[in-house]
Amino acid sequence: MKTFFVLILFILINPFRIFSQDNPQFTPEMREKFKNFRGTISGVVIDMDNKAPLSPVTIQLFKQKDSSLVTGTETDAKGKFTFSDLKGGRYKLVASFAGYKKAVMQGITLTPQTPELILDTIRMTTGVTTEQIDVTAEKSFIEFAPDKKIYNVEKGMTTTGGSVIDVLKNIPGVTVDQDNNISFRGSGNVKVMIDGRPYGLNSSNISTILEQMPADKVSSIEMMTNPTAKFDAEGSSGIINIVLKKNDMTGMNGSVSANVGTGDKYNSSINLNKKTSDYNLTGSYDMRLFNMNMNGYNNRQTFGNSYVTEIDQQNNNDMRMQSHMVRAGIDWTMTANQNLGLNLSFNNRDRNRGGNSTTNVLNGPLTTSSYLNRDYNLNSGKTYGVAANYLLKFKKPKETLSSDFNYTRTEGNSNLNSLTDYTIPVTPQTKLNQFNTDKNDEVNFQIDYVNPYSEDSKLEAGVKTIYRKTDDDTRTENYDYNTNSFITDNALTNTFNYQEIINSGYLAYTNKIGDFGFQLGLRGEQTNTKGEQITQGSNFTKSYFSLFPNASISQKLGMGEELQLSYSRRIRRPDMGDLNPFLNTSDPLNYQSGNPDLNPEYINSLEFNFVKYFTSAIITPSIYFRQTNDKISRVRVQYDSVITLTTQENFNSSRSYGFEVTVNANPFKFWMINGTLGYSKTENDATNLTGQSNSAYSWNGRLFTTFNLPADFGLQATYFYSGKNLSAQGQVDPFSNAELSLKKDFMDKKLTFNLRVSDIFNTQKFHGTISDATFYDEFERKRDSRTVFLTMTYKFGTDTNKDRRRKRDNNNEPMDVPDGF
């Protein structure tokens, strides 16, 4: 490895030794000649695949010594460019074109011996830039890959001081409700991964974990609506992959950050990184302390034979959340063709809630019940994670064998103390204690093989096993005034164990013929589940095998235009909370129960994209269609004249279709703007349950803009609007949110202060209705979402590779050579 780096260093340095200070051939006469010399540099830029000239490509010329910009131009219709009247010296050239990887030419030497320098043809390829370049422009907010959209949120200022939940709120198509439930294009069943790994995230803990992770950890969000066969088929609307920041600088580097927000909200973090040629060590610690107020109401009307029963409920709650997260990892380059990685994580969290609610029950004009309920709920939890990965590179280029192992354990404890004071009728105060413990274990192990047949074609194959085990135990006790003690309530005591094993395998083939590309894949998954309701002495099992084909094609039409069409079949499996048949009667007005007879829902998804690249803009219209069979939905039915029962059922089908138009533009160098406008329509067929079908359309839009201002100031603003969201029995009304952030950099951008205001107009609330032929329920919930945050971030450390490069350049640089060097 050391020999390799010495060889690279020699190759980089040797061509320029002629210009070193101690070169006896570099005489004063030659220096004077260089001083008056002027020359030209020209070239041509083409597409790597179809050899067509590219225009207008932005060409920038930088001094090799200090990476300062000398001049710039654009290619003409034939892809040609020319720089004239240039001083002699060494230059670096960067070619940029929307939708293509940046092309960089280092060490371009212009001398009197070569006054008219014609460069080699620059061949640009489409895709995402992966090379680190010191002098390139910032990444576009949105980038396109064959199987995903990439949103580069690393520079997002309007999420500074927030959590990953706040980041997701700014992603087009994603909706986060008042309880931090995540949905995409109207579907709440979306699979979320972190750095391509599951991290133990499931429907029961996903919002809790993500709201504890700082937004500053996130580099980008990858949206995969029709993932390839390599990925799990779980997730009705696709996959959201949260990509965390990685420090690629060598040497010892790090950062510290502190944040304070109105309403007693605090964040702090420290990140450390040590990188050498053989290994990369990372470590981080994050602390979050958030206090929050929530209020809302429910108004329910039940239609009887001769009267209407009305229940009016007002709620007010205070919540305090505190979490500590520690992460550590090592990536080790064992040999030139073997890599090994190990990552450890631990999260400890407390989420305590206290509040009160008033309830009035009316039968016609008569108030039959009125009471005040006071709850105090202490929640705590821990998550442990271990991830190991191994990569073997074969002699054949790009042929690899990799394996990944992930283990996550999540533990939770909840203690509820509830007091109820009745005024109508006058009865003694009721006291209830409820204790819950749950343990979730998840193991993922997979092996992937990639065999490239050529530069444009490859075969992928792999196998994977997922093992999930959940133990949930609830014990409830009521206060007995006769004995002056708490007595266990067997009717509210529940022990439920659930186990799920998924074995899968896949094949995928990718090829590209000229401007036409395609990918075909097939995944098979065998699912075995077992549930044990120990309290009731019942159990259930299910076993089923499913095939999940997927396909995608792409066609380049010419200058900066591309068509993309993709299809996939996906699945949503019911989880433990959906299946547990225990009847929970702790809420006296709304009982809850799972349904062990639920079937998985299957989804067929189709999407068409057209991508158009301009010099400083990208426009992408998209059309999508999603058909869901045996749709799993929460259903509320009337249990008696006062009480409702909420459970889960399969209804016939659901169809969702719509379009999105995304525009990403840089009208000026200092201004970036990204906007998305979407329309969707959902049609639900629930005639097998309620005898009804419903449909609704919805509009949504997002605007994200950044201004790079003088004196290292930056201004960023976001706004989004979400139209109504339809369910089997009701809808959530439209809501909107606007945020603004101002930052200032100091000390060569090592020190940054950021001032952010969330929900400027205080409009973020959730209002909706649920109804059928027997009842009508209106609800509203509101958090204190308008908050001011102030964040300070300090970066420290040195990129030793950069220092070596700078030292090398300085050692080869005469003190009085022309400015071009």
Model pLDDT, residue 602: 97
For 578, 590, 633, 640, 694, the CA distances from 636, given in Å and listed in that order, are 14, 9, 10, 12, 16
Query: Cβ neighbours of residue 747 under 8 Å, at least 6 residues apart?
Result: none
- Is pLDDT larger for residue 642 or for residue 562? 562
Does position 126 have pLDDT exceeding 70, yes or no? yes
DSSP 228-270: -TTS-SB-TT-EEEEEEP----SEEEEEEEEEEETTTEEEEEE
Q: What was the pLDDT predicted at 203?
A: 63
pLDDT > 70? residue 573: yes
Query: Higher model confidence: residue 585 or residue 464?
Result: 464
Query: Residue 616: its pLDDT value, please?
Result: 76
* pLDDT tier, 572 (very low <50, low <70, confident <90, very high otherwise): very high
Residue ranges per domain, the chain? Answer: 31-127, 251-306+316-802
Strands 458-480 and 427-452: antiparallel
List, in order, residues 6 or more apart from 775 with CB less than 8 Å away: 300, 301, 302, 303, 636, 638, 644
Task: List pLDDT tens digits, range 335-382.
Answer: 989 999 999 999 999 999 999 999 998 888 888 899 999 999 999 999
Confidence band, pLDDT 50/70/90 cuts, at residue 808: very low
Is the bond preceding 734 in cis, omega lying within 30 degrees of 0? Answer: no
Look at 125-134, 141-150, 394-403, 577-586 and tell me which has the smallest mean pLDDT: 125-134
High-pLDDT (> 90) share of the chain, %: 50
Give pLDDT tens digits for 216-234. 888 889 999 999 999 999 9
pLDDT of residue 198: 80
Predicted pLDDT of residue 256:
95
Which of residues 12 and 42 earns the better pLDDT score? Answer: 42
Confidence band of 764 (pLDDT split at 50, 70, 90): confident
Judged against a pLDDT cut of 60, whether residue 594 lies above it is answered with: yes
Residue 55 · residue 75 · CB < 8 Å: yes
| Best mean pLDDT range from 121-125, 131-135, 371-375 | 371-375
4 or 117, higher pLDDT: 117
* pLDDT score of 787 more than 90: yes
Q: Which residues contact 588 (CB under 8 A, 6 or more apart)?
A: 643
Query: For 525, how many CA atoms within 13 A lie in the half-sphere containing its CB?
Result: 27
Lowest mean pLDDT among 9-13, 49-53, 120-124, 204-208: 9-13
Tokens, residue 200 = 């133990």
- Chain segment 683-741, per-residue pLDDT in tens: 988 888 766 788 888 889 999 899 999 999 999 999 999 888 877 678 888 889 999 99
pLDDT, position 109: 83
Residues 96/60, Cβ–Cβ less than 8 Å: yes
Does the pLDDT at position 819 exceed 60? no
Q: Can you give the pLDDT at residue 65?
A: 74
pLDDT classification of 77: cutoffs 50, 70, 90: confident
Fold of 31-127: Immunoglobulin-like (2.60.40)
Average per-residue pLDDT in the chain? 85
CA end-to-end span of the chain: 31
Average pLDDT on 597-612 reads 94
Q: Can you tell me whether residue 201 is helix, strand or coil?
A: coil
Q: Which is more confidently placed, 272 or 178?
A: 272
Task: Please name the residue ranges forming H helices in 343-417.
Answer: none
**Strand 590-592 and strand 644-668: pairing?**
parallel
Q: How confident is the model at residue 800 (pLDDT cuts 50, 70, 90)?
A: low
- How distant, in Å, are the alpha carbons of 275, 285, 305, 338, 612 from that of 344? 18, 12, 61, 21, 42
More confidently predicted of 273 and 65: 273
DSSP state of 484: T
User: Quick one: pLDDT band at residue 774, thresholds 50, 70, 90?
Assistant: confident
Nearest by Cα to 223 from 237, 208, 205: 237
Per the CB < 8 A criterion, the answer to whether 174 and 164 are in contact is: no
State the pLDDT at residue 821. Answer: 33
pLDDT computed for residue 21 by the predictor: 38
pLDDT band at 805 (very low <50, low <70, confident <90, very high): very low
> Do β-strands 191-194 and 239-244 pair in parallel, antiparallel, or remain unpaired?
parallel
The DSSP bridge pattern shows strands 308-335 and 58-63 to be unpaired
Q: Give the residue-averaged pLDDT of 98-106.
A: 83
What is the chain's length? 821
Q: Residue 132 pLDDT > 50, yes or no?
A: no
Q: Which tens digit of pLDDT belongs to each residue from 304-345?
A: 666 788 889 999 999 999 999 999 999 999 998 999 999 999
Q: What pLDDT is recorded for position 806? A: 45
Judged against a pLDDT cut of 60, whether residue 803 lies above it is answered with no
> Hunting for tokens 């060409």 — which residue is that?
59
Say yes or no: domain 251-306+316-802 is CATH 2.40.170.20: yes
Task: Supply the pLDDT for residue 305.
Answer: 62
- Residue 76: the pLDDT is 87
Confidence of residue 157 (pLDDT cuts 50, 70, 90): low
pLDDT digits 0-9 by tens, 491-530: 889 999 999 999 999 999 999 998 899 999 999 999 999 9
CA distance 222 to 207: 18
Percent of the chain with pLDDT over 70: 89
